[in-house]
Amino acid sequence: MMDLTQRQWVKHAVTHPVEGFEDMRWKKSGSLKIAFFIVFLLFVGQVFDGRLYGFQFGIPYDKTFSIVPYLVKSVVLFAAWVVGNWSVCTLLDGEGTMKNICIYSAYALVPYIVQLFVNVLLSHVLIRDEAVFINVIRIIGVGWTVILLFSAVRSVHQYSPGKTVFAVILTIAAMLIMLFLLVLFMSLVQQIWIFILSVYTEISYRFRV
């Protein structure tokens, strides 16, 4: 029973929001490689969503292009989720390892990514009056991913539904704290860098004269 390949497990987990991840856990299945590939697809999807939308739905600002916001919206956010969830649930008697949290959460993102790609394609076929289709697909994609994420957290840590909600809220708080510290750290490094730079400039001017 349930002798699926790793790829079939993705399909199984995504199409069975309630039991899929439980089955995966029971079979000790899930591949880190596929999880990373999914996160990469998320990144590509975010870039497509930002840059390749049909022009009738808005023209992107293309005087400058920075990859950083897209990285933050995909890879950094996912990493923060995994680390935050792991650190919170370790304290809350969760059973998931970091690896499993990463795999299960990545699998749960599949509907959202599919939604991104489908909408980018649709945006080149539809006009503004028909934007409702795009919106419906987006709502379905996001909703499905939320349900899957909930189910993933529940089965990876073997929580009750109530405790899962609690853990998810704490995870989001942990993510915010982490991002805040990250920004703080970056600005600090920047300040130090500017300080070193100005000292260097000062000294170089002295030596020249």
Binding site for other proteins (CB under 8 A): 54-59, 61, 63, 125, 127-129
Q: How far is the CB of 125 from other proteins (least distance, A)?
A: 8
Cβ closest to other proteins, residue 56 vs residue 87: 56
- Write down the least CB distance from residue 130 to other proteins, Å: 9
| Residue 131 or 172 having the CB closest to other proteins | 131
Nearest CA to 109 out of 39, 164, 50, 177 is that of 39
Q: Which is nearer to other proteins, 55 or 207 (CB)?
A: 55
60 vs 69, beta carbon nearer other proteins: 60
The residue (of 59 and 67) whose beta carbon lies closer to other proteins is 59
Nearest approach, Cβ of residue 160 and other proteins (Å): 42
Count of Cβ atoms closer than 10 Å to residue 53 Cβ: 18
CB of 122 to other proteins, least distance (A): 13
The nearest distance, CB 131 to other proteins, in angstroms, is 10
